[in-house]
């Protein structure tokens, strides 16, 4: 909504100040009036626009963070296996061969029990 309203507000401000300055003042004063009103008010819509963009950006960051957290939960098995210790349901197993570790991790990832 703000993306639609801000350009119209800025265009209205620019058009009004241009029409008033052309009809009431000479060229030097026209330029001063237009740049004095329009350029001074430009940061206001820009700030509103950037805040709305940052709000969308924050929501996107939270969404990505949630997806990464879900992905890291599944990768936690690989982190514990990389350290040479296999954790299964919170029980620490003895060190086993890398082939058995990968097989067990695959079975755990599929939800099956490992031998």
**Residue ranges of the domains in the chain?**
1-74
DSSP 26: -
Tell me the pLDDT band of 25, cut-offs 50, 70 and 90: confident
| pLDDT reported for residue 1 | 63
What pTM was estimated for this model as a whole? Answer: 0.39
| pLDDT reported for residue 74 | 60
- Phi and psi at residue 85, to the nearest 5°: -125, 130
Place of tokens 């996107």: 60
Encode pLDDT of 38-57 as tens digits: 777 777 777 777 777 777 77
Between CA 88 and CA 100 the distance in angstroms is: 13
Tell me the pLDDT band of 95, cut-offs 50, 70 and 90: very low
Could you tell me the two tokens for 45? 């819509």
Alpha helices in the chain (DSSP H): 2-24, 27-41, 43-82, 98-109
Cβ atoms within 10 A of the Cβ of 18, count? 15
- Those residues whose C-beta lies under 8 Å from the C-beta of residue 92, and which sit 6 or more positions away, are 85, 86
pLDDT at 114 over 50: no
| pLDDT reported for residue 39 | 72
Q: For the residues 64-70, what does the mean pLDDT come to?
A: 70
How many residues does this entry show for the chain? 115
Higher pLDDT residue, 75 or 43? 43
């Amino acid at each position: 909504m703000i993306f639609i309203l801000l350009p119209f507000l800025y265009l209205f401000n620019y058009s009004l100040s241009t029409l008033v300055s052309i009809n009431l003042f000479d060229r030097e004063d026209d330029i001063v009036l237009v740049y004095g009103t329009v350029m001074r008010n430009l940061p206001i819509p820009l700030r509103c626009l950037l805040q709305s963009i940052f709000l969308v950006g924050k929501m996107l960051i939270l969404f990505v963070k949630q997806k990464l957290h879900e992905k890291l939960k599944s990768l936690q098995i690989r982190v514990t296996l990389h350290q040479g210790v296999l954790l299964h349901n919170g029980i620490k197993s003895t060190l086993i061969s890398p082939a058995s570790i990968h097989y067990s991790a695959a079975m755990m990832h599929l939800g099956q029990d490992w031998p």
